[in-house]
A and B are shown apart, each in its own frame.
Chain A
Amino acid sequence: MADEVPKSQEMIRIDHNPPATGWMDTPTVIRKGMYCYAAKPQSVEYVGMPNPHKWNPEEEDWGLPENWVEIIVDGLRDRLDRFRSLKIFMDTCVRCGACADKCHYFIGTGDPKNMPVLRAELLRSVYRKDYTLAGKLMGKMVGARKLTLPVLKEWWYYFFQCSECRRCSVFCPYGIDTAEITMIARELLNLLGLNIDWIATPVANCYRTGNHLGIQPHAFKDMLDFFVDEIEDVTGVRVKPNFNRKGAEILFITPSGDVFGDPGTYTAMGYLILFHYLESMGLDITWSTYASEGGNFGSFTSNEMMKRLNSKMYAEAKRLGVKWILGGECGHMWRVIHQYMSTMNGPSDFLEQPVNPITGTKFENAKSNKMVHITEFTADLIKHNKLNLDKSRNDHLRLTFHDSCNPSRGMGLLEEPRYIINKTCNHFYEMPPNTIREQTFCCGSGSGLNAGENLELRFRGGLPRANAVRHVHEKHGVNMLACVCAIDRAALPPLMDYWVPGVGVTGVHELVGNALVLDGEKKRTTDLRGEDLPGMEDEG
């Protein structure tokens, strides 16, 4: 696949000027490299979503039910009645264009339909035609158009070119949130069985096995046991994670990507090392194989599917009888936990307000939904001087930090990871202010778009992020990009290789794992990746 991606010198030649023809009269061409494969029917069927069928986006016939227009029109009306956000966002846009060049996909493609305002107009135009008096009477004059098959295909193409990152919504004077519009548009497309496979199959996997990757319980344990061996090789200490243990005080849930693929695995080792370190201080924590997924690809499908997958967290916490839940580093996982979980599957009265058993800190900010972010937890530990950290073991890294979209714009987790980085590393450099914190740029692969067949889209969408990394790479010699998101850890390494070779990607807790001095450990000569620590090479 990779050989089909244009070279970076070609890709950077981006024309941001719109074509001569108006957007309604410019047909959408579904282009290879920019879209993800269609959902496999068995995955759609497994979770009982409508119209599971085999289809190909590049073919004319998409295998739609005969009454598909009616299904969409009814589906849209139903959602207008259920979401005030949708109504307001359909009615209030003045097309000021402030959002236009805020979208990483627009910056990277120059395609005007990737301007958030126009992405929303794709749906808004149909809304006007069917639900507003002005649209019915005056049609195109007020930007209304009929729902036709090309319009539906255009929806599919462009609502799967939005990563629901919410950057545009920061700049919108009315707070119009394209993520919300995309989420609802995808719900509508799912009514016709038009999901992408990179979302539909993880959803089906997660429903069945508890995680997106379809890792079955025994294999999940095997993978963690493998990390235990790796950790022993590096530190000489054998950590002992436990699973599905009733009566534990805390349940730990992290995205399964951390268990499955590098460099997320090193972050998972970081968690294991931290938990081992705290065990003797009174930490009583367990992993679950049933709720073995922090992420939620259901949230890229429909609110109902998001609820179904998310329900396992509270259900498992209740079954095991824990007091509260600790969550690992992940992006959209935290959007769901922070803004949706309690509403969907709470109130979680069977749990207790989270208290850090080591420091006694009561997490006021999580008193209702009872779930704490691991960087909140670790930052609290460090602040109370509970961790013995040797920063010099991260001296080979010159770091910058990528704020993941959802923790920054759907939560506000900005200082906690930075605090940990500063306490575990000596060389930390921020990217330019317009590219971090609430203005952070997406990795280009969020919201289920991190497939292999749409690399061109991912590299184009990731350009603004990569460009900012390149800036600190050249200015400060940054060689490592830290993040708190599993999709980032999967998506950013190829992005860096493409735009900024020489920059690696790490989770924040990998840094913790490197720096944390364990009782009885041997002299560390390598980091968790097995790479030699300069100046600490094995003398033997």
Chain B
Amino acid sequence: MNFLTSVIVSLIAVGAVLVVGTIGGAVPALHPLFGVVIPLLALAVFILGFIWKVLSWAKSPVPFSIATTCGQQKSLPWIKPDKLENPSSKWHVVGRMALEILTFRSLFRNTKMQLDSQGPRIAYGWELWLWVAALAFHYAFLTVVIRHLRFFLEPIPAPIQLLDALDGFLQIGLPGIIISGFVLFGAAGYLLFRRLAVSNVRYISLPADYFPLFLILSIAGTGLIMRYVVHVDIVAIRELTLGLASLHPSVPEGIGIFFFIHLFLVSVLLAYFPFSKLMHLGGIFMSPTRNLRGNSREFHHVNPWNPEVHLHTYEEYEDEFRDRMIEAGLPVDKMPADAADSAEKE
């Protein structure tokens, strides 16, 4: 599929979500549906879908110990092993996984190849922008999600209040600027820009890549609008969200249309999540090239379906080559006469 088609299709899809969300917010009779029923259903799809996907992965065994080793193995006592890049104990694996999940270690290695055909010379430069943007995007997203817990918890736990204070430390204007929302929007914007600007990344991109980016940009955008541009009734929203959390939903009046658009976008993201590439959130924990030890000669890894296969035995081999082996002075298990005897018995 051509990239323009992919972008347009994704834009139309997200546009449709926006329209439906707007209708849901504009028609008061639909508020229970868009404020309560759809979000709860979406949440259920997210949780069950996530569990289903992880279980479906877990159902398949890991037949071989296939860690990608990215550093020195543990071998002779005087050679320093690279415990994090080539783990030889479960704790090293925990360290490697923590680096991978919390700091995107592998992405940090990223290089960019440049070919100068005159030299000819190929050079590899360190290329950090993808790593920076990815890290900013994910940590901003996490911060936003945690901060939103204030809408679902009463009283608001101290750690969330602390995070709020950190996030808003700039203290510019009123309402106070919260950094995470802008970082999320900006980083998602960069990821979109990169996808469109780098020809090879554009070439591999699918509507399934643009759609979640547009969706998340819209979520961040409507969130920023609600905080800084149009007024929404935070007290009423909190009444609704606390009601959702306690499963005693109520839909107060005067919440404002943007909230329903925002909530519907989030609902779509939640329901879409388990069936999409966004499941890398779960997959990264289970990737066999990262979560296995590298010292696979030191321990025995079991394959539950280790197949029975036909082996070419030494006896068969010797039977075929016995005469020539004897002639060459190679030792044999059976002399020709014995071999003939045992062949007869069979």
B-contacting residues of A (Cβ < 8 Å)? Answer: 12-14, 16-18, 21-25, 48, 80-88, 91-98, 100-102, 107, 112, 115, 117-118, 121, 132-134, 140-143, 166, 169-177, 180, 207-210, 216-218, 221-222, 243-246, 289-290, 303-304, 307-308, 311-312, 315-316, 319, 337-340, 342-344, 346-347, 361, 363-369, 371, 376, 379-380, 383, 408-416, 419, 432, 434-435, 437-439, 463-464, 467, 471
* Contact between chains at A176 and B287 (CB < 8 Å): yes
Task: List B contacts of A364 (CB < 8 A).
Answer: 74, 77, 298
* Contact between chains at B115 and A175 (CB < 8 Å): no
Q: A21: nearest residue on chain B (CB-CB)?
A: B2
Task: List A contacts of B72 (CB < 8 A).
Answer: 412, 414-415
Offer 27 A-B interface pairs, CB within 8 angstroms, sorted by A: A23-B204, A84-B58, A85-B289, A88-B287, A91-B53, A95-B209, A96-B201, A97-B200, A107-B113, A140-B1, A173-B134, A175-B288, A175-B290, A180-B289, A222-B328, A311-B309, A339-B66, A344-B303, A365-B295, A365-B297, A371-B297, A380-B76, A410-B68, A412-B72, A416-B75, A432-B124, A463-B122
Those of B287-329 within 8 Å (CB) of chain A: 287-290, 294-303, 305-307, 309-314, 317-318, 320-321, 324-325, 327-329
* Contact between chains at B297 and A337 (CB < 8 Å): yes
Given the known interface contacts A88-B288, A243-B331, A411-B73, the answer about A210 and B68 at a Cβ–Cβ threshold of 8 Å is no
* Contact between chains at B71 and A383 (CB < 8 Å): no
In the complex, whether B104 has a CB less than 8 A from a CB of chain A is yes
Decide if the interface of chain B is mainly helix, strand, loop or mixed: loop
* Contact between chains at A173 and B100 (CB < 8 Å): yes
Given the known interface contacts A12-B120, A92-B277, the answer about A216 and B321 at a Cβ–Cβ threshold of 8 Å is yes
**In the docked arrangement, what's the CA distance between A61 and B186, Å?**
52
**In the docked arrangement, what's the CA distance between A243 and B21, Å?**
79
Given the known interface contacts A92-B287, A134-B275, A142-B208, the answer about A98 and B76 at a Cβ–Cβ threshold of 8 Å is no
* Contact between chains at B68 and A307 (CB < 8 Å): no
**In the docked arrangement, what's the CA distance between A344 and B292, Å?**
17
* Contact between chains at B208 and A14 (CB < 8 Å): no
Q: B290: nearest residue on chain A (CB-CB)?
A: A175
* Contact between chains at A217 and B68 (CB < 8 Å): no
Task: List B contacts of A303 (CB < 8 A).
Answer: 63-64, 307
Residue from B57, B279, B307, B330 with most neighbouring chain A CB atoms (10 Å): B330
* Contact between chains at A210 and B317 (CB < 8 Å): yes
Task: List B contacts of A419 (CB < 8 A).
Answer: 79
A180's partner among B61, B66, B290, B325 (CB-CB below 8 A) is B66
Q: How large is the interface on B (under 10, 10 to 19, 20 to 34, 35 or more residues)?
A: 35 or more
In the complex, whether B109 has a CB less than 8 A from a CB of chain A is yes
* Contact between chains at A170 and B106 (CB < 8 Å): yes
In the complex, whether B222 has a CB less than 8 A from a CB of chain A is no
* Contact between chains at A307 and B307 (CB < 8 Å): yes
Min Cβ gap B122→A in Å is 5
In the complex, whether B207 has a CB less than 8 A from a CB of chain A is yes
In the complex, whether B206 has a CB less than 8 A from a CB of chain A is yes
Residue from A21, A22, A222, A312 with most neighbouring chain B CB atoms (10 Å): A22
**In the docked arrangement, what's the CA distance between A93 and B287, Å?**
11
Given the known interface contacts A24-B1, A365-B74, A411-B69, the answer about A312 and B300 at a Cβ–Cβ threshold of 8 Å is no
Q: A244: nearest residue on chain B (CB-CB)?
A: B331
**In the docked arrangement, what's the CA distance between A176 and B333, Å?**
47
